Amino acid sequence: MASRPLAIGAISAPNSLDPHFYQSPTNNQTLRQIFDPLLTEDAEGRLRPLLAQSWRALDELTWEFTLRPGVRFHDGTPLTPDDVAFTIERVPNVLNSPGSFAPYVRNIAAVDVIDATRFRIRSKTPNPYLDRDFTNLYILSRKIHADAATADFTSGKLAVGTGAFRYAGFTVGQQIELDRNPDFWGTPTGWSRIRTRFIPDAGARVAGLLAGDLDLIDGVPVQDVAHLAADPKVAIFSVASATSVYLFPDASRDQSPFVTDRTGQPLDRNPLKDPRVRKALSLAIDRKGIVEKLLLGQGIPTDQFAPPPAPDRLPGRPAPVADPVRAKQLLAEAGYPDGFGLTIHGPSGFFTSDVAVLQAVAQGFSRIGVDTKVETLPIATFFSRATNRDFALFMTTYATTNSAELLRQVVLTKNPDTGACRAVQPPALFQPEG
Amino acid sequence: MTAITETTSQTPGATVWRDFAASGVALGSLAVFALLVAAALLAPWIAPQNPFDLTQLDVLDGRLPPGSPGGAVRVYWLGTDDQGRDMLSAMLYGLRLSLLVGVGSALVAGSVGTLVGLTAAQAGGRIDSGLMRVADLQLSFPSILIALMVIAFLGRGIANVLLALILVEWAYYARAARSAALVELKSEYVEAARCLVLPPHRILLRHVLPNCLPSLVVIATTQVARAIALEATLSFLGLGVSVTEPSLGLLIANGRSYVLSGETWISLYPGVALLILMAAINLAGDQLRDALNPRLGP
């Protein structure tokens, strides 16, 4: 039997094949087949060697890495420490990046090449997570990619890496084809050719799998898990993901948009500033009900911001239980015995059942007297408006196995006016399985 | 002889009604449409639940099959959606939105479009060509594209959907009103009115407009159905009404992801309701067009 390519149906499509163009899970996971980073994380969030076979911190500012010997790019060019230096130089110079990798390299002062495999990275200020910052940064070659523009990668001309697969064809938003790299430095894969098609519609992915057009799909809709699991031809794999879904309240400003009294008139102060109100809103959410009924058990009610794969997670904490009576008391104590009016925002088509989850949150809020409206927006407009602080309270996700990263990015937020960092406590909802 | 006398003594309205009622299908469609309008108007009193009131919904009652016993609602006759909305109530309220959008946009767009068409016909020259080029430009774009642009610019919500539909529809009325008025303006009774030195707006509104109405009414019936379909499309794409106040189109979209897993009722019943509504309006409108067409009459 002639072997046909492995056919994969993926929920979202990468917007470029330049590994330094867009820091997003979709781009990173697709390009991971062609390119390699220095280090990687395993399913438990522990660091594992990849292009670097060993690494250690020499002092607060200096890290020494040793490259795996004998690694070659797809065209035969050998990997050298200077390529790491080139990668760090290139990252901030990628034009028009919608999500830059620059934060990972901004703190790096210099790369000192010691010999053919060893090099030292000196940082400007101590960074205990410097090694973890190298798990998403794919290494390019100075010889091959010195003048490479983003378009040269997407056209396939310079989509040349050290990874297990070679570029064989890419149509933006449609599909990517990859051939096995016979000279791969690691264990070669069993697939000689992979064809990944990007199918955002969940029903179409499931139908393609059942019809045999696709061998593997991601983003399995929760409502289809039961009947797919019962199908002897289908196997389902799930793992607790590193993604936390959380609500972000506007807890710092005195006036917030989309918060009113129950008749729609503006309030003289922002109720979300009061921790009792935020606690009440958190207690109004039936996390267990959401996970059981909307996610059909494909999720875990959050007990803390660190997701299950995070190594520094606190074990044995109980998940918050919905308590509308206590929530109403807290609202009354905060001076809102009759509640208030609130419009909450969220993305649509960003994660499984996102619109349904936001409505269930609104149900909980309404039940304690907070008259809640729901607005969902396409991803493109949602995130720019959220960053612009257009919302009073919005739902989003953060994925990392490093709790400190979450604290850095979400809980500690910088005030653009004063430059000061302040902690907010967003009530986390659940961690979906992915 | 008697038959002829009867016909001539009848008012135009009665003639139209007789021609309309000649078709059983049309009468049936009209009855179905009247029933749906009545159900939509009476929704707050006959629906077991207010599906727009979040405090009445319970996500724990989500995705129950038709006929399941419920808490606040005694029996979910048509099942519930993923938020625990009683589908029967949600459809009645959704029908209200669909009809409001369809009829509301037809009324406003019809008035605006007719006024523009009459003005163009009366004024002629540059004003006429200017107004009609705007209408042509608009008609050359697909309706859904214009509606999507308006919603993308203004955001979702029932008022913006209405505005989008009015912007899409007015040009159809304007073109029809202009061509009908151009014919009428050349007829003898208008000449007579001009000889009496009646002001132009009086000639247009009191003499020309009533004679243009039949063709405009026919356009209105097709436009109401089109507007309802367009609103359903917008909502289905996630750009129409608010997610907590779903119309029929949004209900269908919500249920779509559950079709493969066997929970077909979430999409099926709103879909059937939309189908019946559209078919009723179109069939009745068809017959009305024939009844108003003097060439087909006796």
Residue-wise pLDDT for A346-385, tens only, equals 988 778 788 889 999 999 999 999 999 998 887 767 877 8
**What parts of chain B have a pLDDT lower than 50?**
1-7
Over residues A132-157, the mean pLDDT reads 94
Q: Which residues pair with B242 in a beta bridge?
A: none
The alpha-carbon gap from B94 to the nearest alpha carbon of chain A, in Å, equals 17
Cα–Cα distance measured from residue A53 to residue A66, given in angstroms and rounded to the nearest whole number:
6
**pLDDT, tens digit, 9 for 90 and up, residues A333-350:** 999 999 999 999 998 877
Chain A interface mutation, best of B148, B158, B260, B263, highest count of A Cβ atoms under 10 Å:
B260
Q: Which residues of B touch A353 (CB under 8 A)?
A: 82
Instruction: Please report whether residue A365 resides in a domain.
Output: yes
Nearest CB to B261: which of A227, A289, A356? A227
DSSP letters, A43-54, are TTS-EEESSEEE
* Domain assignment of residue A353, yes or no: yes
Expressed as residue numbers, the domain containing A423 is: 243-432
Asked if residue B103 is part of any domain, the answer here is: yes
Is B244–A367 a contact, with Cβ atoms under 8 angstroms apart? Answer: no
pLDDT for A162: 96
pLDDT value of position A1: 38
Neighbours of B199 (CB within 10 A): 9
- Write the pLDDT tens digit of every residue in A173-210: 899 999 999 999 998 888 999 999 998 878 889 989 99
**What CATH code is carried by the domain that includes residue B29?**
1.10.3720.10
Interface test with A, best of B64, B160, B257, B258 (most A CBs within 10 A): B257
- pLDDT on residue B2: 46
pLDDT tens-place string over residues A85-116: 999 999 999 988 877 888 889 889 999 999 99
Q: Phi/psi class of residue A304: alpha, beta or left (left: φ > 0; alpha: ψ in -120 to 50)?
A: beta
Quick check: is A317 in a domain? yes
CATH number of the domain enclosing A368: 3.10.105.10
Last residue of a domain, one of A141, A158, A186: A141
Shared domain for A117 and A255, answered yes or no, is no
At residue A414, the pLDDT reads: 54
Q: Do the Cβ atoms of A104 and A137 come closer than 8 Å?
A: yes
* pLDDT score of A232 more than 50: yes
The structural domain count of chain B equals 1
Size of interface A-B (CB pairs under 8 A): 78
Prediction pTM value: 0.80
pLDDT tens track for B177-234:
999 999 999 989 888 988 888 888 888 888 899 888 888 988 999 899 999 999 988 8
- Per-residue pLDDT band for A434 (boundaries 50, 70, 90) equals very low
Hey, how many other C-beta atoms are within 10 angstroms of the C-beta on A391? Answer: 22
Q: Does residue B239 sit within a domain?
A: yes
Contact call for B263 and A226, based on CB within 8 A: no
Residue B10 maps to a domain: no
Q: In the prediction, which pLDDT does A112 show?
A: 96
Contact (CB, 8 A) for A409 and A381: no
Query: How far apart (Å, rounded) are the C-alpha atoms in residues B226 and B277?
Result: 11
pLDDT value of position A2: 47
Give the pLDDT score at A196. 96
Confidence (pLDDT) at A305: 79
pLDDT (mean) for A26-40: 93
Give the number of other CB atoms < 10 A from CB of residue B40: 19
Return the exposure string of A348-387: e unless at least 16 CB atoms fall within 10 Å of the residue's CB, then b: bbbbbbbbbbbbbbbbbbbbbbbbbbbbbbeeeebbeebe
Q: Which has the higher per-residue pLDDT, B168 or A431?
A: B168
CB–CB of A362 and B256 under 8 A? no
Share of chain A above pLDDT 70, in %: 92
pLDDT at A34 over 80: yes
Looking at the structure, tell me whether residues A407 and A282 fall in a common domain: yes
Find residue A374's DSSP bridge partners.
Answer: A344
- The residue segments making up the domain with residue B196 are 23-296
Please check whether residue A184 lies inside any domain of the structure. no
Number of domains in chain A: 2
Contact B257 A378 (CB under 8 A): no
Instruction: Kindly state whether residue B7 falls inside one of the protein's structural domains.
Output: no
In a domain, B148, yes or no: yes
Q: Structure tokens of B100?
A: 């409001």
Same domain, A285 and A425: yes
Residue B189, in any domain of the structure: yes
- Which residues from A are below 8 Å from B265, CB to CB? none
Residue A344 within any structural domain of the chain: yes
- Scanning the structure block, which residue is given the tokens 């210099």? A110
Domain's final residue, options A141, A156, A188: A141
Q: Rounded to an integer, what distance in angstroms lies between the CA atom of residue A30 and that of residue A196?
A: 9
* End-to-end CA separation in angstroms for chain B: 14
> Does the CB of A203 have a partner CB in chain B at under 8 Å?
yes
Count of all residues that appear for chain A in the document:
434
**Is A331 domain-assigned?**
yes
Phi, psi of B246 (to 5 degrees): -75, 145
- List pLDDT tens digits, range A42-83: 877 789 999 999 999 999 999 999 999 999 999 999 999 999
Answer yes or no: is A11 within a domain.
no
What single string gives the DSSP state of each residue in B226-283?
Answer: HHHHHHHHHHHTT-SS-TTS--HHHHHHHHHTTTTTT-THHHHHHHHHHHHHHHHHHH
User: What is the spatial distance between Cα B249 and Cα B240, in angstroms, rounded to a whole number?
Assistant: 9
Pick from B249, B174, B251, B185: nearest CA to B215: B174
pLDDT category of residue A432 using cuts at 50, 70 and 90: low
Kindly report the length of chain B: 298
Q: How far is A203 from chain B (nearest CA, A)?
A: 6
pLDDT, tens digit, for every residue of B218-242?
Answer: 899 989 999 999 998 888 887 888 8
Q: Which is more confidently placed, A214 or B240?
A: A214
Q: Which of A87, A109, A141 is the last residue of a domain?
A: A141
Neighbours of A280 (CB within 10 A): 28
